[in-house]
A and B are shown apart, each in its own frame.
Chain A
Amino acid sequence: MTQHLTILPIVVPLLAGIILLRSRGGSTRGKRIISITATTLLALVSIALVHEATSGEVTYYALGDWQPPFGIVMVLDRLSALMVLLTSVLALGCIVFASAGDDEQGSNFHGLFQLQLMGINGAFLTGDLFNLFVFFEVLLLASYALLMHGGGKARIQAGLHYVVLNLAGSALFLIALGVLYGSTGTLNMADMALRLSELDPERAGLVSAGGLLLLVVFGLKAAVLPLYFWLPRAYSTAPAPVAALFAIMTKVGVYAILRVYQLVFGDHAGSLAALDQPWLWWLSLATLFVSGIGVLAARDLRLMIAYLLLVSVGTLLAGLGIRTPQAVSALLYYLIHTTLVTGGLFLLAEMIGLQRGKAGTRLVKGRPLQHGALLAGLFFVGAITVAGLPPLSGAIGKVLLMQSASPAQQPWLWPLLLGTGLCSLIALSRAGSTLFWRSSDGEPSDASLTRRHWFGVVWLLSASPLLVALAGPISNYTQATAEQLANPQQHIQALLPDSSLGGDQ
């Protein structure tokens, strides 16, 4: 059983998704039970995976026992285990929240949700570039349908842009894969790393074109500056549990960049090493700057949170741009924090919107809130965390990241990072005082909040104090992950035992 553990994060949601899609006409209650059970199971499996990966060994699961580099492999290392666990924790909060009523607005919510999880987990586990494309398509197709769940003009329009952009992105992905396969003769990432270390210099130009095309595709997923314009509208119109789950989608892009450019274009790749670094560094700073302005300009709470998500993407990519193991460790810590907290904030915004009736999440005077004190308390915690104020986890992540910048990089990174933090703080405090204090005299709305709503939000937002309390063990884990990533030799050795970097076989 244990040797099949690695494939379970893909198989469990797939089976649950099939069962849920088969029982379309069944009772909502039954579907919720199946969906929540499957997600809990997924969380347990991913805890077991993290436990297995903590040994530091890279293990793989060869589908059909076709050995790499020829077969399709799922690779389990510290990074993929961490990402799968993060997905399942986030998904559990979202699915419980959705079971409070959002899932009844359209058809097949739970089935699509499980298929989306399958795509995300697959993208995190795969060790093969073409397979990465396939899982990207799985998660995108599910996300198209989830984004438009419930319908409505704004969702359809934002969805149309999202779909067209991503289809164009998929075409670019395939072109990049074609170029890389044509010039290296392999699609397995470990094998490609090996081939790059002994690459014919004449082909270096072709490979770098392919590599940079891949960066464009991943940048589109991660929403880096010139490619982010689809994000704010799509995320702010999506149903809340979906928007919260989508907090991990940009991280799929960040993960793909981290994986491909550390493993395939690592130091062993000669002139092609760190191909992405100069691009990522400057684009991440520009993303930080623009998203800071976006946060200030947003007139709707959900739009503001979407821009806060962009701030986090800029911060994460800046860590990728610094590229030292210390920076990667800091960015992994920040990634856990930002995914869960942004997800929690999307859910919280939905609750506030429900209570305010017609005013919704727009930042205008509205009716007073029924559970004002509790909601305001949660909003306060979320705002402090996401703006990066001590004592919560955002501050730790930012400090770790700022420390890892080299003296030449500090004058760029520090002001921008702290400046966007200030922008977030101003915008969030303005939003909070409008939402909770500037209410008109009307009666509080009778829209009820169920325990499932509260569970979803508290589950995700409590990640922040936990991340502080467990900062030691978690940063040890991320540190070890960063070191494992910086040393692709170990990864390659695990998959292809007969070969070593440098071609001295």
Chain B
Amino acid sequence: METLYAITTGVLSACGLFLTLRGRTFPVVAGLTLLSYAVNLFLFSMGGLTTDGAVIVNGGEEYADPLPQALVLTAIVIGFAMTAFSVILAMRARGDLGSDHVDGRKLEESRGDRG
């Protein structure tokens, strides 16, 4: 399970990083979202992965660390709010700057570097 989990997190963050480095606001926002998913998964796993563990400490038995779950909830809420904000900001920038390039460049110039 650990291997699968690690690969998932790694692929998500690699995709997120790639998209964040793009020149247009939509891929950047999508990239930040993917990055925050990857981070949430990572945070969730930081207390160690346990299967069939008790939710609450129950004697000496194996139990799942509750703290990362609380932390990841907080991180999800914050990440969600930030995504909403950056979407609105990207739309506002598109309207005000007349282009969806992060540097506000015009379409003709930036079409070349789309590759």
What is A's interface to B at a CB cutoff of 8 Å?
130, 134, 137, 141, 144, 148, 151-153, 156-157, 159-161, 163-164, 167-168, 170-171, 174-175, 177-179, 181-182, 187
Contact = CB atoms under 8 A, between A and B. Distances in A.
A163 B85 contact: yes
Most buried by B among A179, A181, A187: A181
Contacts of A141: 81-82, 85
A246 B45 CA distance: 36
25 contacts: A134-B78, A141-B81, A144-B89, A152-B96, A153-B96, A156-B93, A156-B96, A157-B93, A159-B89, A160-B93, A168-B20, A170-B78, A171-B36, A171-B38, A171-B39, A174-B42, A174-B43, A175-B42, A177-B43, A178-B39, A178-B42, A178-B43, A181-B68, A181-B71, A182-B48
A212 to B, nearest CB: 17
B106 interface: no
Contact of A156 (B35, B46, B86, B92): B92
A132 to B, nearest CB: 13
B67 A181 contact: yes
Contacts of B96: 151-153, 156
B97 A167 contact: no
Interface in B67-115: 67-68, 71, 74-75, 78, 81-82, 85-86, 89-90, 92-93, 96-97, 102-104
Interface string B57-74: 000000000011001001
B53 interface: no
Interface in B30-48: 32, 35-36, 38-39, 42-43, 45-48
A156 B78 contact: no
Contacts of A152: 96
Contact of A130 (B42, B71, B81, B97): B71
A1 to B, nearest CB: 30
B70 to A, nearest CB: 9
Contacts of A157: 93, 97, 103-104
A179 B46 contact: yes
A contact face: mostly helix, strand, loop, or mixed: helix
B72 to A, nearest CB: 9
A166 B11 CA distance: 22
Contact of A161 (B46, B75, B85, B102): B102
A170 B38 CA distance: 13
B102 to A, nearest CB: 6
Nearest to A164: B28
A174 B13 CA distance: 13
Interface residues of B, number: 33
A288 B48 CA distance: 43
B78 A137 contact: yes
B90 A160 contact: yes
Contacts of A160: 25, 89-90, 93, 102
Given A160-B102, A161-B102, A167 B86 contact: yes
List 8 tightest A-B contacts by C-beta distance, closest first: A182-B46, A178-B46, A174-B39, A171-B35, A156-B96, A171-B39, A178-B43, A157-B104
Given A157-B93, A167-B82, A178-B43, 9 more contacts: A130-B74, A137-B82, A156-B92, A159-B89, A161-B102, A167-B36, A175-B42, A178-B68, A181-B47
A153 B96 CA distance: 6
A163 B78 contact: no
Nearest to A167: B32
A164 B32 contact: yes
A91 to B, nearest CB: 23
A174 B48 CA distance: 16
A440 B32 CA distance: 50
A193 B100 CA distance: 46
B74 A134 contact: yes
Given A167-B86, A171-B36, A174-B42, A153 B97 contact: yes
Nearest to B29: A164
A151 B92 CA distance: 10
A167 B67 CA distance: 23
Contacts of A175: 39, 42
Contacts of B42: 174-175, 178
B80 to A, nearest CB: 12
Nearest to A152: B96
A137 B80 CA distance: 12
A151 B39 CA distance: 32
B109 to A, nearest CB: 15
A140 to B, nearest CB: 9
Given A130-B71, A153-B104, A164-B28, A170 B93 contact: no
